[in-house]
Amino acid sequence: MPTNILPPSEVPAIPARIAANRVKECFRIAEKKTKIKFRFDGVQFFSQSTDAGYVVATENNVVYLNLELFQRNTKTFLDTIIPHEVAHIVARAINPKETYHGKTWKSVMQDVFSLPPERCHTMNTKGLGRNVKHFVVS
């Protein structure tokens, strides 16, 4: 889980608004299908990572997204990454004891969002992540 959360002042307004609107829309879809009411706690962005996004469903309903990847792949985020992350929150509400990519999450991906339950993204992450120096040992 990346820890390099960007302060709101470093996040452009348009991506922030687009992402928040899509998260809210995914919650509305889930509410209709599950009859469970979800609280929207916001979207936060991080950088210097190859992860697309994450949630901490045991703590809150915040969706954390990789700003650099979001800006490069907005359509992918709107179509799959954001529903994937919201599905974690929904699955946790349905079955609090289940692991992150378990049976309930897979069911939510398929039955609520009509998406394949894929764990990992395939976006190009070249140039992202932390710079790591490689040393030659002689």
Given a cut of 60, is residue 82 above it in pLDDT?
Answer: yes
CA 16 to chain centre: 13
Mean pLDDT of all residues belonging to the chain = 91
> The whole model's pTM is what?
0.90
Element (H, E) at 53: strand 53-55
Cα gap 89→108, rounded to integer Å: 10
User: What is the side-by-side strand order in the sheet with 43-46?
Assistant: 43-46, 63-66, 53-55
Given a cut of 90, is residue 86 above it in pLDDT?
Answer: yes
**Per-residue pLDDT, 137:** 56
The pLDDT of 70-95, averaged and rounded, is: 97
Phi/psi for 11 (5° steps) reads -105, 120
91-108 per-position pLDDT tens digit: 999 999 988 899 999 999
The pLDDT of 72-86, averaged and rounded, is: 97
Residues classed as catalytic: 85
**Per-residue pLDDT, 134:** 45
Cα gap 44→8, rounded to integer Å: 8
CB 54 within 8 A of CB 94: no
3-state secondary structure 35-47: CCCCCCCCEEEEC
Given a cut of 90, is residue 126 above it in pLDDT?
Answer: no
Cα gap 100→104, rounded to integer Å: 9
Given a cut of 70, is residue 120 above it in pLDDT?
Answer: yes
**Per-residue pLDDT, 133:** 45
37-68 per-position pLDDT tens digit: 999 999 999 998 899 999 998 889 999 999 99
